[in-house]
Amino acid sequence: MNRRTGIKAAAGWGLFLGGCDAGRRQNGLTKDQAVATARRAIAGKVTLLDDNEPATVAEDGGRYVVTFVRRNPPGTRGPEYDARVTIDANTGEVLQFLVGS
């Protein structure tokens, strides 16, 4: 490989890396921010039994999965959750929204 070609490849790589992070937050979302984003996403679409209903948060490959767990009365059958929202941990974009039924 000649020196001239190597320099061009290095310059091109730097430009590519600079462009791929455009629009992303430096540190990404915290779990609390993910829960707040999920609550905004379900507002008006899902009725939680309790507005202060706790949410579980799991990290999954650069995503947060926020689940609003349904508490069914003993001896009854029903969904495991009221809503499950998948959020991109870097951008905060809602990727998926599931409703228990």
> Per-domain residue ranges for the chain?
25-99
Q: What is the pLDDT of residue 48?
A: 78
Q: What is the pLDDT of residue 93?
A: 95
What is the domain class of 25-99 according to CATH?
Answer: alpha beta
CB 63 within 8 A of CB 89: yes
CB 37 within 8 A of CB 87: yes
Q: In whole angstroms, what is the distance from residue 36 CA to residue 30 CA?
A: 10
- pLDDT beneath 70: ranges in the chain: 1-27, 49-51, 101
Residue 27's alpha-carbon distances to 17, 65, 90, in angstroms, are 17, 18, 7
Give the three-state DSSP class for 23.
coil
